[in-house]
Amino acid sequence: MFRIVFYQPEIPPNTGNAIRLAANTGCELHLIEPLGFSLEARHLRRAGLDYHDLALVRVHADLDSALAHLLPANVYAFTTAATRRYTDVRYQPGDVLLFGPESTGLPSPVLAGDAITDSVTLPMLPSSRSLNLANSAAVAMYEAWRQHDFAGAGEPAS
């Protein structure tokens, strides 16, 4: 399945929502320290509800240790600075969807790293600054999963 990576996330409810996303889609969630909160934070627990036991969540000390665990794989860096749309990618199981901190996005050195396959963006109105981190991860994850006919999902209710 796919792997979502949050590089130095800052807001607990975003990570809690991503835990729920991982539990409901079967993707992995990788968090790169430093985190802007404790994994025991009340807001994180509330957003993730009882999904913690259903999601695969790993914490890495830094980007290099995360990449050592995740590579080889395609790594798609999500940034408002990219010109290629996330829908132009043909995702493969095992691909990494990399997102930056809520306040700044991915730093330039990360975007320029050798492990980055491509930088992609989610279209927005020109007057918008950015989308919410958890929402961005959900949009991207569901597109990658859609391309594989939602493999592993149950049948829709009739």
Contact call for residues 147 and 95 (beta carbons, < 8 A): no
On whether residue 155 sits in a domain, the answer given is no
**Residue list for the binding site:** 100, 122, 130
On whether residue 45 sits in a domain, the answer given is yes
At 14-34, the pLDDT tens digits run: 998 999 999 999 999 999 999
Q: What residue type is assigned to position 117 of the chain?
A: T
Please tell me the predicted confidence (pLDDT) of residue 19: 92
Q: Is 129 exposed, middle or buried (0-12, 13-18, 19+ CB in 10 A)?
A: exposed
Domain that holds residue 118: 3-147
Domain count, the chain: 1
- What are the residue ranges of helices labelled H in 116-156? 133-146
Q: What residue type is assigned to position 32 of the chain?
A: I
**CA–CA gap between residue 148 and residue 36 (Å, rounded):** 34
What is the CATH number for 50?
Answer: 3.40.1280.10
On whether residue 153 sits in a domain, the answer given is no
Task: Tell me the pTM.
Answer: 0.93
DSSP 43-71: HHHHHHGGGGGGSEEEEESSHHHHHHHH-
On whether residue 55 sits in a domain, the answer given is yes
**Dihedral of alpha carbons 3, 21, 128, 92, sign:** positive
pLDDT < 50 regions, the chain: 48
**Residue list for the binding site for S-adenosyl-L-methionine:** 100, 122, 130
Please tell me the predicted confidence (pLDDT) of residue 46: 58
